Amino acid sequence: MKHGVVYAKTEDGVELPVIDVTNPAFAVSATDGELAAMTEQYIRESEERKEIPPEVRVALQQSMLGKALMAASGTFLDGMSTYVLKLGPENLGAKASAIDRRIAASFPAFTARLRLADMARLLADGLAARLAGAPLRNMCLVNIGGGAGADSWNALIQVQREHAELLARRKVGITVMDVDPRGAGFGVRAIEALRGPSAALSGVEISFQYLSYEWSETERLRAALEELGARDAVCGVSSEGGLFEYGSDEEIVANLRAMHGATSDDSVVVGSVTREGEAVRASQGAHRVATRPRTLEAFRRLAGEGGWRVQEIVERPFSFHLSMVKG
């Protein structure tokens, strides 16, 4: 057991660490120069390795993460596998294979960990600014395509660490809207662990629920937001590695319009957008994951059509991480 790390079980009974990006066990960082060098190396190695040798494919099928990545070809990596990928090679546990650790130490996995940290930071900053002037309002966090909801609880951890008074005596609700309930099942137990004695969210009143959701079901999103009281609450919507990376232009605009119409005027939306570029083309060639790359200007246009304005941007090798406010 590492200092300050709590654990929760998956639906299959596997005990995993609960990621807290403020804990050194999970923290990641890199300068712009370091990221540029790693990106160049990744592109070069991807060009040299066009096809996976048969013996490597066999080995991947026998590893936890390798098997999940191969199953994600042409579609998306499931929520729990994505969560495990973000644990880092040192936190996978004794049952992980050498290949699992190599995958978890890879550049795409490193950037996925950065993405989680960026999302949590953007969401925490947006929420703190709104909570400060609203002592009597509840908080509503909605996570679209969120898997376990790790960006939501990590945002809360950062608010609690830096502005504990803002969460005192306030009800917080986290709702994960996803096609797969397994990630949210882990999320429920992760929140229980984080609210334990002396844990990062001890004393914070948090409820956690799962709603089945396809991105085409925007009326369901609108109804869910209204039922959650998002129009009156301090509301933060997030989609890390989800809607804005895999959704069509039409789906993104429709979801943003639903969010706009059913949330408070001061709501914040954060998300990651797959960026058009050489690194992403190399990644798609290697893994064939069906993200939809866009330029920042293209996404700004979609955000505007949905009623939102991009406020803050963090540029990473594979994606833009951004926050939006109502336009």
Residue 1 pLDDT: 60
Any alpha helices (H) in 174-277, and if so which ranges? 181-194, 218-227, 243-246, 249-262
Q: What is the DSSP letter of 166?
A: G
Residue 287 pLDDT: 59
Helix axes 64-71, 54-61, angle to 10 degrees: 110
Q: What 3-state DSSP class applies to 309?
A: strand
Residue 278 pLDDT: 87
Residue 81 pLDDT: 86
Closest by CA position to 244, among listed 197, 200, 294:
294
Task: Spell out the domains of the chain, with CATH numbers in brackets.
Answer: 7-111 (no CATH), 114-326 (3.40.50.150)
- Cα end-to-end distance, the chain, whole Å: 46
Residue 285 pLDDT: 61
Q: How far apart are CA 101 and CA 134, in angstroms?
A: 44
Q: What 3-state DSSP class applies to 118?
A: helix
Q: How far apart are CA 1 and CA 39, in angstroms?
A: 33
Contact indicator for 251, 242 with CB cutoff of 8 Å = no
Q: How far apart are CA 99 and CA 63, in angstroms?
A: 7
Closest by CA position to 172, among listed 201, 205, 127:
205
Task: State the CB neighbour count (10 A cutoff) for residue 269.
Answer: 31
Contact indicator for 291, 318 with CB cutoff of 8 Å = no
Q: What 3-state DSSP class applies to 244?
A: helix
Q: How far apart are CA 198 and CA 202, in angstroms?
A: 6
Contact indicator for 184, 148 with CB cutoff of 8 Å = yes
Q: How far apart are CA 237 and CA 86, in angstroms?
A: 21
Task: State the CB neighbour count (10 A cutoff) for residue 137.
Answer: 18
Q: How far apart are CA 261 and CA 271, in angstroms?
A: 18
Q: How far apart are CA 54 and CA 62, in angstroms?
A: 13
Q: What 3-state DSSP class applies to 171?
A: strand
165: phi then psi, degrees, rounded to nearest 5: -65, -25
Residue 72 pLDDT: 59
Residue 103 pLDDT: 87
Contacts of 238 (CB under 8 A, 6+ apart): 119, 123, 141, 142, 143, 144, 146, 151, 152, 155, 269, 270, 271
61: phi then psi, degrees, rounded to nearest 5: -65, -20
Residue 100 pLDDT: 84
Q: What 3-state DSSP class applies to 73?
A: coil
CB-based burial, 14-37: b 16+ in 10 Å, e otherwise: eebbbbbbbbebbebeeeeeebee
For the beta sheet containing 308-315, the strands, ordered from the edge strand earlier in sequence to the opposite edge, are 205-212, 171-178, 139-144, 234-239, 268-274, 319-326, 308-315
pLDDT tens, residue order, the chain (327 aa): 677 899 999 998 989 999 999 999 999 999 999 999 999 999 988 876 666 656 656 566 666 776 666 665 666 678 888 999 999 999 988 788 888 898 899 999 999 999 999 999 999 999 999 999 888 899 999 999 989 999 999 999 999 999 999 999 899 999 999 999 999 999 999 999 999 999 999 999 999 999 999 999 999 999 999 999 999 999 999 999 999 999 999 999 999 999 999 999 999 999 999 999 888 888 776 556 688 999 999 999 999 999 999 999 999 999 999 999 999
Contact indicator for 118, 151 with CB cutoff of 8 Å = no
